[in-house]
Amino acid sequence: MALRVPKSSYPQLFKEGYKIQQGVDEAVLRNIQATHELSEIVRTSYGPNGRNKMVINHLEKLFVTNDAATIIRELEVVHPAAKLLVMASQQQEQEVGDATNFVIVFAGELLQKAENLLRMGLHPSEIVQGYELARDKALEILEELSVETVKDPRSPAELSKAINTAIAAKQYGYEDILTDLVIEAALSIMPKNASVFNVDNIRVVKIMGSSIHESKVVKGMVFGREPEGVVRKAQKAKIAIYTCPLDAAQTETKGTVLIHNAQEMLNFTKGEEKHIEKIYKEIADAGVKVVVSGSAIGELSQHYLNRFGIMAVKVLSKFDLRRLCRVTGASALARLGAPTPEEMGHCDIVETVEIGGDRVTVFRQEDESSKTATIVVRGATQNHLDDIERAIDDGVNTVKAVLRDNRLVPGAGAAEMELVKRLLSFGEKTPGLNQHSIKKFAESLEVIPRTLAEGAGLDATEILSKLYAAHHQSDQNNVGVDVENEKDGTIDAANAGIFDLLVAKSWALRYATEAALTVLRVDQIIMSKPAGGPKPPKGNPDWDED
């Protein structure tokens, strides 16, 4: 007689169409396989020599990038286990703004190593316990690996220590130019209390043409369009910002007007014109020289704006309108009319400038501490400009993270190799089954230097053996992968000025381990029947025609 009762004799627990997968083979190993596929996609785009991915999203928009956060956002992952890794990397993006790739690559490697342990016969709960011990020990060791600090956040030389490596990982070869731009922009808006530094105050405007070397920082805001009317420049200008259209108001109800002769016709339109003229005369009398609209500007309104010498600028992004309100100190008005003195903003110079054939409008405050800085990026293709923008975004987030915690650890995979060495010796001293998981956790960290070596076209096995040999000598804790030197392949990261943020590494370790543990703790997958009617047959597009 069979020991296990066949499923059909169980009472019906769920509706028809439910799928249940349980046990290590059906649930855990399948989840690990899905997460491995996701981590392999982004692993090859890790580091300074990371490959680009060409992603075409559901709107047929093309992305060519090696930025993990963008790749994952546009891929629309649906597998529930892989989604957990995506959520962890998104949280890393929110928390630090960098090292999103590290989270997915490391979590994927942890789960791959866990698969080996499961096949050896360990129970998932034993692996989870070992991984938790290893994570806590890794965070403890990481605190000791700090080799450098950013002593003065207002010094360009000090800031570049942290920013240079973050940008080099995305735009290798352009890191010096982009680092200088980020530092110039960050220092121009740095508040007296550096801890309230807001990354939103640094904007990027992309203008195609020329080369990246022509990029520059403008104090103030730059909009990639020219003013609507004939007035092109205003100085020491009062500004009124409207979220509503600058046009004749439409009535809510439809009405019919009977006109008997030409005079009545003339009078009808005159009334409307007089009403609009009165509104713009009041605005001009209030001293307003620049009007900004978040919506359409009507022809009649444009005529009176030109007549009263008011500059009109259209800004279609509501986020840019909010930023402009912050820069000028204005309040966005939802009604058309003269603003009160409290609702008006002020800007020293509003002008139209030509950058490489494109005419742009610049709002600039002359005093030293402008609230917003704009990095104008030049380049040959839109995709390249988008990728540079992402690299700049990482650099700006690095400034924010440095102001929170100024400690730096050696980069180029050196910190990971030191963690591997110390965690392996910690595993040796741990009694019981936990030591297997701790050792596998340590081995998982090898994936970072291995990926850096593979990306640079080096022999990964040879480089790893050299790194192990170097780190087992007490005075060579900062040795990492040299992606430029093919003969030796190793470099002292601290002397070469390659540093990673300690805060980014510690959060990435936390999020990656947490995501991996969540996947390992799953022992059953219960899927309900998808809602909706029958799907149309794929072969025949006219299946519903009579």
Q: Is position 443 within any domain?
A: yes
Of the candidates 251, 404, 239, 229, the one whose C-alpha atom is nearest the C-alpha of residue 301 is: 229
Q: What is the CATH number of the domain that holds 293?
A: 3.50.7.10
CA dihedral over 89, 416, 447, 491, signed as positive or negative: positive
pLDDT of residue 447: 87
Q: Whole-angstrom Cα distance, residue 485 to residue 489?
A: 5
Q: Whole-angstrom Cα distance, residue 291 to residue 281?
A: 13
Tokens of 267: 């009078």
Q: Which amino acid is at 155?
A: S
Q: Is position 39 within any domain?
A: yes
Of the candidates 55, 81, 96, the one whose C-alpha atom is nearest the C-alpha of residue 510 is: 96
pLDDT of residue 534: 63
62: containing domain? 14-147+410-527
Q: Is position 416 within any domain?
A: yes
Cα distance between the two ends of the chain? 56
Q: Whole-angstrom Cα distance, residue 546 to residue 542?
A: 9
Q: Whole-angstrom Cα distance, residue 373 to residue 221?
A: 6
pLDDT of residue 15: 67
pLDDT of residue 3: 52
Q: Quote the pTM value.
A: 0.80
Q: Is position 199 within any domain?
A: no
Farthest CA pair distance, the chain: 105
Q: Is position 238 within any domain?
A: yes
Q: Whole-angstrom Cα distance, residue 418 to residue 193?
A: 36
pLDDT of residue 301: 76
Give the number of domains in the chain: 2
Q: What SS3 string covers 312-357? A: EEECCCHHHHHHHHHHHCCCEECCCCCCCCCCCEEEEEEEEEEECC
340 and 430, same structural domain? Answer: no
Mean pLDDT for each 10-residue chunk of the chain (546 residues)? 48 66 71 84 82 83 82 81 86 82 88 84 84 87 82 80 83 84 83 77 82 81 77 80 74 71 75 76 80 79 79 80 79 79 80 76 70 83 84 85 83 84 84 84 87 82 84 76 74 78 87 88 74 63 61
355 and 431, same structural domain? Answer: no
Q: Which amino acid is at 144?
A: E
Alpha carbon dihedral 409, 415, 421, 422, in 10-degree steps, equals 30
